[in-house]
Each structure stands twice: as C-alpha cells, then as structure tokens.
Structure 1
C-alpha cells in the first residue's frame, strides 16, 4: 500500500524535508518501508528551475503493522516539531487533513487511515 503526505503552509518546504528525514531515519521503519520524495515536472519549462518540484512524501508499506509504525512516527514528529503547515495524508483515495498546529495522536490517525468508509472518503 502507498501513503502520500503533502503539506501546505508558510513553512511547508522545511517541514516536509524534516518529516521526510524523520521517517527515513525512524528505527521502526528503516529497512522495512520505502520512503521517497516525489514530485511533478513543471507544467511549462522554466529556465530558472531544474527538474521536478518535490511536493510529496511517498511511503510504501507491506503490512498493517508497518502502517501502525508509520502513524506513530508521524504523530511523534508532529508533537516534537509543532508544525505550522496543514498536512494531508492520502491512502487509496482517502484523504485525512490535519490542520496546522493540531497534534493528533497515532491511534486516531491510524483509525482514520484504516477507515475508508463505503464512499471511499475519509471521515475527517
């Protein structure tokens, strides 16, 4: 399963890099999940930019246990870094939005990611 994490806000670039490094270095995730920065090519070529803009953190998981470890890692990062950006986490079309400054615990985040509902929409 793939989880995509995007951020929007005043400090979204630095916070996205911080979260990426946090997830990549997490003991529970290291070596068992794939964490990558992915982006999109600019719509129009611009001589001032090089390559893709890295906008999203993509995490590829194989088991529900890894999903639990991911949610714990995200919750720990949010508690330790007082994020100022809105975070959107998406899995299989379900989008969970965590407003800036809101610190959700891992259990609530895990329930939201596991609960897809019949209409495919997240309940947050």
Structure 2
C-alpha cells in the first residue's frame, strides 16, 4: 500500500527533508517499509515540490510509521500539520500524542485491510483527538480516491 506524507503549508521543503531523514534513520520503519521522495502530483501547486512516499505491506509498518512520526513531531513543537494519504482517504495530524499514533495506525490498518494487502486489521478506533480527518484524499501515486475515510 502506498502512503504519502505531505506538508501543504511548507514553502521551502525543509520540513519534508527533515521528516524524510528522520524516517530513513528509524531502523524499525526501514525494515518494514520502503521510504522515498517523489514529485508532488500537483506540480503547479505552490510550496514544496516533493512528498514522502512509503510502501508498506504489513500491519506492523503502520505502527512503525505512526511511532516514528510522533517521535519526530514531539521534537519539533512548531512543525506544521502533516497530511497522510492512503488508498481511500487521508488524515491530517497536528501533534505527536498517543491518540494521534492510534489514529494513524488505525487508519492505515483499515486502508490496508480494505486494499486487501493486510490480514492484520487490529488497531484502535479512530476517535478524534484534535486532528482533522479528510476523506477522498489523493493517494501518493496521484490517482483520485474513490472512497472516503469517514470513520
């Protein structure tokens, strides 16, 4: 499953590069996901020209990504919100709380289960906690999502 991480408010791309380096240094995430930088699907858009793309195939990768994001976010109190896109939807997160980790993991596990790539559909329930959930997000591969994540 392809997952994209995007900073819509970033003008110089520094946050993208910073989070990309952080994720690449996370040994657990590197073992369970492919991590790369790709051109934004909407190249004419203002702001950064790249997004972080991960390819994850197992449930543990969803948890590894959520924990790595939270660790990065907790060391940067002024970092902008991050939109995580996946097949069928997206989630925008603003902090690195335990609730955010649960929400990211649950959203990615649900998407993987619906995408047929994961038999492990465990994880917490997506119950709010300050982050905006946006349905019909654009997956990292640039295709338009047909379904929304309204849970």
TM-score (norm 2): 0.62
1:65 paired residue number: 60
CA distance in 1, matches of 2:77, 2:103: 18
CA distance in 1, matches of 2:4, 2:10: 20
Bigger CA radius of gyration: 1
Show the 5 A alignment for 1:83-122. 83-99=78-94, 102-105=95-98, 106-115=101-110, 120-122=147-149
SS at match of 1:88: strand
Instruction: Indicate conservation of the 8 Å contact 2:83/2:92, yes or no.
Output: yes
2:25 paired residue number: 25
1:76 partnered with 2:74? no
Unpaired segments ≥5 residues, structure 2:
115-145
Question: How many residue pairs are counted as aligned between the two chains?
Answer: 112
CA distance in 2, matches of 1:80, 1:5: 18
1:3 paired residue number: 3
1:16 paired residue number: 16
TM-score (norm 1): 0.74
SS at match of 2:29: coil
SS at match of 2:79: coil
Unpaired segments ≥5 residues, structure 1:
44-52
**1:114, CA displacement in angstroms?**
2.9
Instruction: Indicate conservation of the 8 Å contact 2:69/2:96, yes or no.
Output: no
**1:95, CA displacement in angstroms?**
0.6
